[in-house]
Amino acid sequence: MNFKKSKKIKIRLHRHKRHSMVFLAALLLFLISYGCTVPGTIVGGVSTVGSAALSAPGFEKRVNDAGLMVAVNRALLQKDDTLLLKIKIDALAGRVMLTGTVQDEIARTTLRKIVGDTAGIRQIFDYVKVSEPRSFSKVARDGLISARLRTSMMTDQAISAVNFIIRTHRGVVYILGIAPTEEEAMRVVNHARTISGVVAVRLEFETVDEMMLAFAVAEELSNVSTEEEALRQR
């Protein structure tokens, strides 16, 4: 087989792989849009809401993380479908965490705009890096760190693992969580620090009380805005 023919085959394989991944993303998005369940994840790595958040009074009326992330993924598919293959988007009670790597600042700006323009997101934690793609072994190493941390959390009786979303990128552990107390979150952080290969831990956390207070403030501001608009129209 000559060099040109071999190169063409590699290009076709690359395109086939990319198109297959995009197709799978679109398929999952279609299933979610029509009410089908995809256990534990939505396109792009969006996780289910933890038990602490769900136990809060009126939570389900205030936040629809699944619907919110369907909107984000649909917008990404329409604007730049390659982003879904490079980043992870996690949502918990309206707070969104972005991790992963993109090829340039243009892609990063596109991602930020799409997520920022999505209605219903109350806070964004952007940890996306601009750099060259990493090797499979490095990606696998990060995955192993996340797996070890989840195992430690599940064996700790003082932690409800479903209250936290874990991502690891380049040895940095990113934690997005909601729990009744800050002590529970710090136990997760301490577990992460004991794992070999971890270079840093980033915690984005709020208690259930803080979450409900944020909802109450947002609703009050919305009511005031509505009343002011009604007065202007009189």
83 pLDDT higher than 90: no
**pLDDT for 37:** 37
Print the SS3 string covering the chain: CCHHHHHHHHHHHHHHHHHHHHHHHHHHHHHHHCCCCCCCCECCCECCCCHHHHCCCCHHHHCCHHHHHHHHHHHHHHHCHHHHHCEEEEEECCEEEEEEEECCHHHHHHHHHHHHCCCCCCEEEEEEEECCCCCHHHHHHHHHHHHHHHHHHHCCCCCCHHHEEEEEECCEEEEEEEECCHHHHHHHHHHHHCCCCCCEEEEEEEEHHHHHHHHHHHHHHHHHHHHHHHHHCC
Q: pLDDT digit string (tens) for 150-209?
A: 999 999 999 988 889 999 999 999 999 988 889 999 999 999 999 999 999 999 999 888
Q: In total, how many domains does the chain have?
A: 1
pLDDT at 52: 56
- pLDDT tops 80 at residue 39: no
- Per-residue pLDDT tens over the stretch 54-72: 555 445 555 678 888 888 9
Range of the domain at 180: 3-232
